[in-house]
Structure 1
Amino acid sequence: MSTARAVAGARTSVDSPDGARIAVTDHPARSGTAHGATLVLAHGWCLTHEAWDPVVAELQRRRPHLRVVSYDQPGHGHSTSGRDRSVTLLDLGATLREVLAETVPDGDLVLAGHSMGGMTVMALGRVAPDLVRGRVRGVALVGTAAHLPGRRSIRGEGLVMALLRRLPASSRGLPTTPRLTAATLFGVDPDPEAVRATSRMTSRTRANVVADWHRALGQLDLRAGLTPFASLRTVVLTGTRDRLTPVSAGRRVAAAIPGSTFWGLPGVGHMITYEATATVADKIELLLDAEPAGERA
């Protein structure tokens, strides 16, 4: 477990196709000179780019020449929402495409996404398949799903989301406590600091953002966009105690991407970036060392 914070560079912003102003954080190479692929990270629903900070800190400790780019999803953290509230997961893929175009316009990429961030990466395969095939060296899909058949709503879930959708845009979203966060999002014996950090992120996400992206997640089916990932190295990680995107969901993602590798992490819940920081870093290092995109057959 780790709650180390990454050393962040200047924050910049990128305009998404639907008018959202996306807050991007550049973590420059600690050596002063970046070499190799740039790592780009997408976070999950109701979180911010800070959910990846432990992994960023660990990787840049190991690899001083690594540049990392992370960003806040539309409406999350320091990013604004777009013009249209009828958002879809493909909008997230389009947003990632713009982040890449503005912040990493050339060179090899490694992409990693946690939860809704993993869906963002998979959506990029739908909206920009040539970019994935041509520039992406490897992909890490962490605690995520491409499809959740037969998911049953939690009692009262629909009513709560309908209420949140009607609240003023400035209203905070899901009220939570560290105890509830630990029970819902973490596995065995979570680090209290990691639980508090997660609770702060989720409780600060605005009501309309929670509801709008919940509706988008309810339409989840990204299986048609997975073809481009078969040509590059892909790793899938899921915690065995994950209550939101269970092991079965991770296995289905891996089964749908020929050549990908699946790891189930015993005792780990949904917040893998905090609970299994070193393991996530290990798998991303495999991608950083993979065959350069331009040299693939």
Structure 2
Amino acid sequence: MNAPALHLECAGEAGSPVLLLHGIGGSSASFAPQLQAFGRIHRTIAWDAPGYGRSPDPDGAPGIAGYARDAAAILAEHGRAHVVGVSWGGVIATRLAADRPELVRSLTLADSTRGSGLTVESAARMRQRPAELAGSGAAEFARRRAPRLVAPGAAASVRTGVERIMSTVRLPGYRFAAESMAETDHSDLLGALRVRTLVLVGAEDRVTGVAESRRIADAIPCARLEIVPHAGHAANQENPDRVNRLLLEFFAEAERPPVADAIANSTEGTS
């Protein structure tokens, strides 16, 4: 199966693959700190989702399952990967891990959610966003929304960077993404995941919040929760040193063989 014609930012030529899936107001540019750090050790791939960045607009609404299929097509070409999803990207990553677990070496859900279909009200709020984008234009849309994505004390350069990236969103990509969130509730899916999972959340996330990440971590059998200090919803951009260290340690841990296998391997040839 050929990967869709999506734009991919890549770093590194050796090591196991890492696939980075951005949030609904982001693009591959959201992962600049991770591409630089991970590329020293891993083959790192950050996508522009369909209808985002330099990727073409999809012909119709893919839905979460469709976005997950697009991500799976990338991994079918590049190999089993550590998958990192931020916010909306985490919802896509969750469906990818559920539908194609053989492609996912480990799963990281950063400042993510079970979907906006948890309540009628949250789904309606998500469906209102594309009209706001259409009415105000991308620059004003980003100016209004970006400040909530970072912690109140975030550096001005971080706030400006988040706003700049969000100002590149466009229709229909954003509309399709918002609809995919509005129609999704992964509450009943999490307990069936059997992928080693790290749930990350900024301590000052005012969008999805610590409580939602805690619920996700509690529901996934193989998950643990890490709360990132001095960070809001855009934790990977606000506190990249801490996030990168946690992720690289998690990737290394996920690649180590289980203890039983390690013991068995160490005793081979001694009998």
User: Which residue in the other structure is 1:146 paired with?
Assistant: 114
Q: 2:8 aligns with which of 2, 24, 27?
A: 24
User: Which residue in the other structure is 2:247 paired with?
Assistant: 284
Contact between 1:143 and 1:270, CA under 8 Å: does it hold in 2? yes
Q: Counterparts in 2 of 1:1-297, with a 5 A limit?
A: 15-16=3-4, 21-29=5-13, 34-35=14-15, 37-60=16-39, 64-85=40-61, 87-102=62-77, 104-105=78-79, 108-132=80-104, 136=105, 138-147=106-115, 149-150=118-119, 152=121, 161-162=130-131, 172-173=137-138, 175-176=140-141, 178=143, 180-181=144-145, 183-226=147-190, 229-230=193-194, 232-292=195-255
Calculate percent identity across the aligned residue pairs: 21
User: Which residue in the other structure is 1:9 paired with?
Assistant: none
Contact between 1:164 and 1:211, CA under 8 Å: does it hold in 2? no
Higher relative contact order (CA 8 A, sep 6+): 1
SS at match of 2:82: strand
Against the structure 1 CA distance between its residues 15 and 83, is the aligned structure 2 distance closer, same or farther, given a 3 Å change threshold? farther
Question: Pairwise CA RMSD of aligned residues?
Answer: 3.0
CA deviation vs aligned residue, 1:103-136 (integer Å, no higher than 9, x gap): x13xx5211111111111101023313333xxx1
Contact between 2:83 and 2:93, CA under 8 Å: does it hold in 1? yes
Question: What's the offset of the Cα at 1:155?
Answer: 10
Structure 1 gap ranges (5+): 1-13
CA deviation vs aligned residue, 1:20-62 (integer Å, no higher than 9, x gap): x311122124xxxx13x221111110210111111222334xx
Against the structure 1 CA distance between its residues 210 and 23, is the aligned structure 2 distance closer, same or farther, given a 3 Å change threshold? same
Question: What's the offset of the Cα at 1:154?
Answer: 11
Contact between 2:19 and 2:82, CA under 8 Å: does it hold in 1? yes
CA deviation vs aligned residue, 1:69-103 (integer Å, no higher than 9, x gap): 11101100001122213x3111111110011112x
TM-score, reference length from structure 1: 0.76
Structure 2 gap ranges (5+): 262-271
Contact between 2:126 and 2:178, CA under 8 Å: does it hold in 1? no
Contact between 2:217 and 2:224, CA under 8 Å: does it hold in 1? yes
TM-score, reference length from structure 2: 0.82
* Number of residues of Structure 1 aligned to a counterpart in Structure 2: 258
